Homo-oligomer: A and B are copies of this chain.
Amino acid sequence: MDISAALVKKLRDVTGAGFMECKAALTEANGDIEAAITLLRKRGLASAAKKAGRTTSQGLIGSYIHMGGKIGVLVEVNCESDFVARTDQFAALVKEIAMHIAAADPKYTRRDEVPAEALDKERDIYHAQFASSGKPEEVVKKIVEGKLDSYYEQVVLVDQKFIRDPNVKISQLIADATAKMGENITVSRFARFKVGEV
């Protein structure tokens, strides 16, 4: 197997092991970097401390503490260049999104993060609500899917209405910022803690 110099360099950066050891481990692992790290660790050539963290993009981590420390939010907003990440405009956007999360309490960042079981449970509940309505099954199905849209609006950050302007969804707020700053902007993750709430 042909192991690229770039892959060897990446493994060296991650493990701190020598060039030949990294190349040998990658060859043995058929180019699988995670497997190569494990091999190097078994040989005592790499420590557990270093991580294979991929830095894919620029951006900012923002936080917002509400109600004197009873609610807190941490959010990562990404852009394409460190130049944009350092602007006041970008920092202001991150702050707005953190404040929104504190107030609106989303559960997921994007729709694809909603677990299938949660969707099934919602569908089941909406279906039960309309099953005895006497409406034809295909109509009930349409109502259920419509209700799912409002479920997304409740729990998915980008589908939520912005707390400062209910006419604008968070996805639109981000699209506007993307247009203004000329770079692709995304919210990749957030955490929201409320004291005593597990």
Q: Please report A residues at the B interface, Cβ cutoff 8 Å.
A: 38, 41-44, 48-49, 53-65, 68-76, 78, 85-86, 91, 94, 121-122, 124-125, 128-129, 151, 154-155, 188-189, 191, 193-198
Contacts and interface: CB of A to CB of B under 8 A. Distances in A.
A74 B198 contact: no
Contacts of A42: 124-125, 128-129
Contacts of A121: 38
7 contacts: A56-B198, A59-B196, A61-B65, A61-B70, A62-B65, A62-B72, A75-B193
A87 to B, nearest CB: 12
B154 A56 contact: no
Given A54-B197, A151-B48, A71 B61 contact: yes
- Overall SS of chain A's interface: mixed
Contact of A91 (B59, B63, B69, B91): B69
B191 A60 contact: no
A22 to B, nearest CB: 17
Contacts of A64: 63
Contact of A78 (B49, B56, B94, B196): B196
